[in-house]
Every structure is written in C-alpha cells, then in structure tokens.
Structure 1
Amino acid sequence: MTLPDALLDTLRAHFPGDAMATGMAERLAYAYDNSRRNALPDAVVFPTTHEQTEALVQACRAHRVPVIGRGRGTNTTGATVPVDGGVVVSFERMNRIVRIDPDNRLAVVEPGVLNGDLQQALKPHGFFWPPDPSSSPWCSIGGNLACNSAGPRTVKYGSPRENTLGMRAVAGTGEGFRCGTYTSKGATGYDLTRLLIGSEGTLALITEATLKLTPKPSALRTIRATYRDVSAAARAVARIMAQPVTPCALEFIDDVALKLARDYGGDTVPLAGAMLMIEVDGEPETLPSAVDAVSRAARGEGLEDLRVAETAEETAALWSARKALSPAQRTISPNKINEDVVVPVSRLPELVDGIKRLAKKHDVLIVSFGHAGNGNLHVNLLPRDEAERERSHACLAEVFALVISLEGTLSGEHGIGLVKKEFMPLALQPSTLHLMRSVKDAFDPEGILNPGKLLP
C-alpha cells in the first residue's frame, strides 16, 4: 500500500519533524515483533498526546488506511505486525506516569510506560502493580493491557483485567472516550474497560490507563520441590491450589526443560522428572505458617526433594533452573514455537500427560513450563529442521484440540494475534464469534484497527 499524498500531508501536520517516519530503516524497525513475523508499514508515527491519536485515526479512517497500535513489540503472536501495511502507531513517547495516588491505591499512566519502570516508581510508596510478565523490563503497560499479559503473580493477584480501573482510548471511528472508574467499585453500564483489555488493538487505541495498586508484602519465601515425573508434580499443583493459602507464584518445569536448563546452566539445576517453583508472601509473623501449609500440600506421592530458601542467595540458587531456561531453548531451536494454553487446575495432570504423548507421536521436542497455579502452561515446540517444523505445526493443532477437550482455552496471556486466529472456531461457537464481530463493527466500522488479527 502507498499512502495517499493527502493523508501524508495531514499526518505531517499533526506529527511534525521526527514524530513521523517514512524512511525504509525506520519502517523496517517497526515491521516485526517477537513472533519473528515481518510486514512493512507505510509510515510510523510517535504520538505524545491523546489528541494526536484522535487526529491520526480520523485521518486514516477517511482514507481507509490501517492503523496498528504498538508498544515495545515483545508479544509472540504477531499481534503488532502490520500485515496490510498502513500506519504503525508507536506509543513509546507517551511514557509519563501521570500520577501515583497511594490513598486511593491507583496510578494513572500513559501506554508507553514500561512495566518495570512503573514497578520501580511504586516501590517508595509501598505498592506494586500485580501483572509482571517475564518481559517486564522492556514491555509497556499499553501492550500488557492489549494482550492481558500477566505473569507468575496472577495466581494470587490477578491479571490486568482484575487490576485496571479505567482508561482513556480512541475508537476506530476516531472518537475519544473514557471508560471505567477511579473507584474500586462501579456498576454504571457496560464494562468497556475489561472489554478493551485483551482486544489487541482491534477495538481502540489506549492512551491512558488507571491502574489498581496492591500494597507490597513485607516478606517473601521461595520453595523448590522436585518430583519423580510430571504427573506427580501436576497432582501437587492441584493439592496446593485446593488449600487455603494461595502462593504468589507457582511455576511448573517439566523434565525436558530441566535437562536443557542443566546442560546450559550447570549442575545447580536439579535432575528430576519435574519441578515446582513456589513463592509465598505475607507479613513476617504469619509467613512461617503459610510456608508450612503450602509445603504440606506440595508433599505427596512422587516428591523427591523439597527445599525452602532462607536467604536471598539461596533464593537465587533455587531459581537458577528457571533463569537458564530461555537461553537454553534458543541454543536448541531459533525457530521455537511458543504457545501458552490454559486448563482448569484439576485437569493439569491430563494436559501434561497428553503433551508427552503428542511429543512422542509427532517426534517433536516439546518443553513445557509456566504458571501452573492458573493451569497456564507455556508449550514450547523446538523444531531443528524443516521436517520437524512441519511435524510441529501438525502437533500444535492437536495440542489445541487437547486443551479444548479439557475445558481449557487457547491463550492465557500471549493473546491470539496472527498465530492462533485460525483456531478460534475450535474454541468459540459461531454465535459467540458473530457477537465479537458485531462488537468490532461498533468500535471500528471501517475495520482499520489492526486488521487481520484475533478474529478469524
């Protein structure tokens, strides 16, 4: 697509100087995300105000030109790849923390604020924002909201949907609007805030968010438990989540992942059939009893070893396997297929057993780990050549079918993007998809916002 001269003139008027880029080098830099998919935009703009965003969408709507909102491109589903060309809107310059309000437990931020930067700013006030994806040093709040990206703490504190009070945004019509509240309770009309979260920029562009803050616990304890096999570990997860003390992190790592991590990170990584990394937080006087309750639930048939860290150094040592995992996978396969699926916690043993069977059936190396307390596993297929890549795609379709048969869902935090949209009819009935398309039409009648994503 070549942008019309009239549109280019309008955009230059609203985005003067380096606020707009049309050179090949800049366009290439915004053509891809962490999915490794690639498509060239026709221009990139860098708004600094809500009003600029409104003007942009109005101009692009008039010319039926696609508009693709973008945070820092850390997502893995192709959700920010401009497959139909058009204008990429990078929110990296809208990066102000507008205010932090400890009395009302909220913060107001622009979409380009990095998750890690917000957490640092909240520390002196004794608060945190619960969503903490592994990319938190680099990912933006806008991207977290667009994909409902969560992380380990979701098991206790919830995802962005549970931790966002309201927002300001621009619909595909070019109209700006506010939704949600500045209060912790609200029952005034439809909940557009939760609707926009996870919509991957297909309904509106978020220009400001009001986030719900949580007081930071003063103490934290880490537990590492190793098991004879993945089934024993999965059963332990179900026991842990069935007792009253909710851990603030409950991570699962299978045997294949442990072997990879040990090959990369050395013998500090244990050899086992599976491992759980568990964190419990709270106040110092109540923490020992909480740790004891979770440890009792972790014990059971198949447990090989359980260790509780007493110092920061011991905590770092216990986490060594998880830290070594991502670089270890990259040494095996640069074409890693990284999917996140979710099943009810009680069905987790069936999921991990099923994934083992599918890996054997298709002769594909699969590494499974993730946020087991939510039933959210990251299923990583590691093809090493073209034949394995073909088998991996066939295997992935069966993984998704398995997840749906277990009353699960296609994504917990990565979103749908390009990668999973063909599988949406597997997860949702036609009448549900029809309603979703009707919602899309109401927000974005010309279909210019992030076309080709999420909906099949």
Structure 2
Amino acid sequence: MPLPAALLDTLRAIFATHALSVGEAERLAYAYDNSRCNALPDAVVFPTEHAQVEALVRTCRQHHVPIVARGRGTNTTGATVPVNGGVVVSFERMNRIVRIDPDNRLAVVEPGVLNGDLQNALKPHGFFWPPDPTSSPWCSIGGNLACNSAGPRTVKYGSPRENTLGLRAVAGTGESFRCGTYTSKGATGYDLTRLLIGSEGTLALITEATLKLTPKPSGMRTLRATYRDVNSAAHAVARIMAQPVTPCALEFIDDVALKLARDYGGDDVPLAGAMLMIEVDGEPDTLPSAVAAVSQAARGEGLEELRIAQTAEETQALWSARKALSPAQRTISPNKINEDVVVPVSRLPELVNGIRELSRKHDVLIVTFGHAGNGNLHVNLLPRDDAERQRAHACLAEVFALVIALQGTLSGEHGIGLVKREFMPLALEPGTLGLMRSVKAAFDPEGIMNPGKLLP
C-alpha cells in the first residue's frame, strides 16, 4: 500500500528533495542487508540532524507507518529489511564525530560514523573504541549499537554495552530523550543506555552516542597454536581463559575451516585438526611475562605447534588463515547460514563436539570458527543444493537446542533480527518475553519501530 499523500507532504516538508527517495530504483538499494532477506520500502529518508528524526517519528506514528533504522546494511539477520514496508531511515549522512575528549576518555558521535573512521580519528590521541567487528571499515557505530556488535577484542575489553556511556534518541512515541552519563560511574535510575543497545531499532532511533574510550596499548604479540583435533583446541581455550592474563583476541578455527582456507589462501594456511589465533597486548615491561603465561596455558594435550610472531610481516602471515575464511566459504556456498552462538567457555569442548555430530547426522558441511575467548563461535552451515538447504534448516534447530542445553544463548553479536526470532522462546522464558513486550509497548505503543523483528 503506498504512503498516504498527507504523510508524503509532511516528509517533503521535513526533508529536502535530495534527502527523500520514493523512486523504485533508490528504494531497491535499501531493500536488503547482508542477509538474503529482501523487502521494498515505500520511502527512504536521509536525516542530518536530530530534529528531523523527531519530526519523522511523530508523523509516522500519526499515520501508523513503520520505521526501519539503517546504518550501512552489514547486518546478517535481516534486522534492517523493511518487511512491512514503510520508511527506511538511513543514517549515513549523520556521520559527524562531534567531539573527542581525551581528558574524560570519551567521544561523542552521530550514528552514521563508520567504526573504522572513528578508530582512525582516535589514533593520534592514543585511544581506541574497543568494539571491532570484522566489518569495521564499512559498518556504522549506530549499527554496532543496534546489535551490540563487538569482535575479537570483546574478550578483554567488552562489547558496545560496556563501552557506551550515554545516548540521545527518539522513542516510538516521538519523544526525544537522553540516557546515561558523561562519567564512568552512575547510579541514577534505570539503565536505558544498555537497554537500547542490542534492541535493533525496535524501541527508539539513536541520534547521538557518547562512547567510552580506552588507551591504546603500546605493544602486542600474536601467537598461533595448532592442535591435533578440535577437542584439544577447545580445552586449550578453557585453560587460557582460566589463568590471570586475559588475551585481547582468542580466535578458534576448526579443521574444516582450515582446509577451506588453505584451498583458497595457499600454503601459508597450516593443515591441522584445529587452530587458535591469540593476541596479547600491554606495555613493554609486562608483555614478555604475559606472552609466557598465555603460551604455557596453550601448551597441553594435542598441541602440535606454537609460533610467536616477531615482526609485522610474521603477524600478517599468521593471520592468513582467518582472513581467507570468508571468501573461501563463498566459493562453496553462496547460501551459507551464518550463526554466532555463545556458550560458557568451559562448555566449548561440548559445543564443538556436538556440532561435529550434528554435521554428520544431517550430512551438512559445517565450518566453525570465531571468538572462542567469549565462548562465541560462528557456526557456518554450507548447503550446496535444495536438499542440503532443507537438511541445514533442521540441523540449525538442533544446533540452537544444543546451545541452550549448554546454558548458552542464540547470538553474541549478530543479533536476532528476522531470521532467528522464531527461536527466541528456546532462549527466554514466557515471563521474560512478556516483560520485553511490555517494554516495547512503553517505548513504541503503535508498534511502528522495526516491526516483525527480534520478539517472536
């Protein structure tokens, strides 16, 4: 159904001609994200200031028209696909770094700022913002906040929830509000900042974020450990995380992933039963002892080789397997199912072994790798034809059931979006889901904020 003429007239009054698109060609560009979901919006708007966002929400609420917030479309769960039509709000033009305040270790940014651009702006000040998804050169801060997207450094420094001090936003009621503080401590009322982070645009539109910065360590060492089998590597992860030195990255790659990466990336990728990529950071006087402690924990039953890079070139070579994985998977299956489940670190061996059994049971190729230090593994099912796609969907349901049985959860950083919402009752009790629906109703009484996402 086309947008009401009165709504279009109001949108034209709020947004200049070049900031409102209603032509089909322009709308098609905002109909999909990095999932395979696709749905055409009725209009796309490009706000440049908070007041426009507030006016937009108020008029869409008046006309009961859906609103879908969008960063750069790197989401893999369909969270930014406008399945009910309506208006897509692209924040790509709200891309200003408002201020960097080294004295108070914070930065104030608009949601369209790219993660990588922020990191580059922080370097001269000696700081960084810890969340570092693989897509950091292209993903936006707003998108990171919407899905609580993190990356390898989460194991030591935390996710966006731990690294965001406050937000400015517009609720689904059309009301503007600020939450959080400019200080590292605060105990004043409900923590709406953490509530909004990970809510996938279902409660409010974020127009500004105050981010907590971390001093950049002056040194880093990269280690690569190969193991006889995945079980040995999983046990090594538990040992590493049980000792006092926390690595700043601890990545797991299974044997299937290594073979794919080697076929694509060449002989720099080792052949092994499994591999861990480990990074340790710190100051020059403490770094050697930290590396020694992590190396000792990495050694154990099943270790085949432990290498420590001494130069930048060696570091790059050690990471070659991890970097070859994504393009290698695309050569196998353009329809890969990419999940990012999480279990307690001590349960990783059970998860890895369970996934291996499910792969055999359903005869579906599964590649497993990811942020093992958090217990967050990317489980990639690679179906190659229609029959395998059907088996993969059945397998996926059993993967989620296994994760919940191991006291884990459905997603660590990709979010729920459209593709995982049917599994939410596996992870959350009815009472919990009921409270979430009540929160949703308080923020968005008309149900216009990203409808059809997250909540089942």
TM-score interval, smaller chain:
over 0.9
> Structure 2 matches for 1:21-420, cutoff 5 A?
21-420=21-420
Amino acid in the other structure paired with 1:217: P
**Distance in 2 of aligned mates of 1:17 and 1:393:** 44
Aligned partner of residue 335 in structure 2, secondary structure: coil
What are the Cα deviations for residues 380-400 of structure 1, in whole angstroms up to 9, with x where unaligned? 000000000000000000000
In structure 1, the partner of 2:11 is 11
**Distance in 2 of aligned mates of 1:419 and 1:21:** 27
**Distance in 1 of aligned mates of 2:39 and 2:145:** 23
Amino acid in the other structure paired with 1:78: G
Aligned partner of residue 100 in structure 2, secondary structure: strand
- Structure 1 stretches of at least 4 aligned residues deviating more than 6 Å after TM superposition: none
What are the Cα deviations for residues 14-69 of structure 1, in whole angstroms up to 9, with x where unaligned? 01111100011110000000002100000000000000000000000000000000
Q: Which runs of 5+ in 1 are unaligned?
A: none
2:409 paired with 1:422: no
**Distance in 1 of aligned mates of 2:380 and 2:37:** 17
What are the Cα deviations for residues 129-171 of structure 1, in whole angstroms up to 9, with x where unaligned? 0000000000000000000000000000000000000000000
**Distance in 2 of aligned mates of 1:377 and 1:88:** 31
Amino acid in the other structure paired with 2:316: A
**Distance in 1 of aligned mates of 2:110 and 2:286:** 37
**Distance in 2 of aligned mates of 1:429 and 1:167:** 29
Cα displacement (A) at 1:349: 0.2
In structure 2, the partner of 1:447 is 447
Cα displacement (A) at 1:4: 0.1
Q: Which runs of 5+ in 2 are unaligned?
A: none
Aligned partner of residue 83 in structure 2, secondary structure: coil
Aligned partner of residue 305 in structure 1, secondary structure: strand
**Distance in 2 of aligned mates of 1:16 and 1:293:** 59
**Distance in 2 of aligned mates of 1:293 and 1:323:** 26
Amino acid in the other structure paired with 1:157: Y
Amino acid in the other structure paired with 1:411: S
**Distance in 2 of aligned mates of 1:426 and 1:315:** 41
Cα displacement (A) at 1:377: 0.2
**Distance in 2 of aligned mates of 1:41 and 1:175:** 24
**Distance in 1 of aligned mates of 2:87 and 2:440:** 19
Aligned partner of residue 120 in structure 2, secondary structure: helix
**Distance in 1 of aligned mates of 2:425 and 2:322:** 34
Cα displacement (A) at 1:5: 0.1
When the two structures are aligned, how many residues end up with a matched partner?
456
**Distance in 1 of aligned mates of 2:226 and 2:125:** 37
**Distance in 2 of aligned mates of 1:295 and 1:283:** 18
In structure 2, the partner of 1:432 is 432
Cα displacement (A) at 1:285: 1.2
Aligned partner of residue 334 in structure 1, secondary structure: coil
What are the Cα deviations for residues 195-246 of structure 1, in whole angstroms up to 9, with x where unaligned? 0000000000000000000000000000000000000000000000000000
**Distance in 1 of aligned mates of 2:40 and 2:334:** 22
**Distance in 2 of aligned mates of 1:20 and 1:9:** 11
Aligned partner of residue 377 in structure 2, secondary structure: strand
2:2 paired with 1:2: yes
CA RMSD of aligned residues (A): 0.3
Amino acid in the other structure paired with 1:386: D
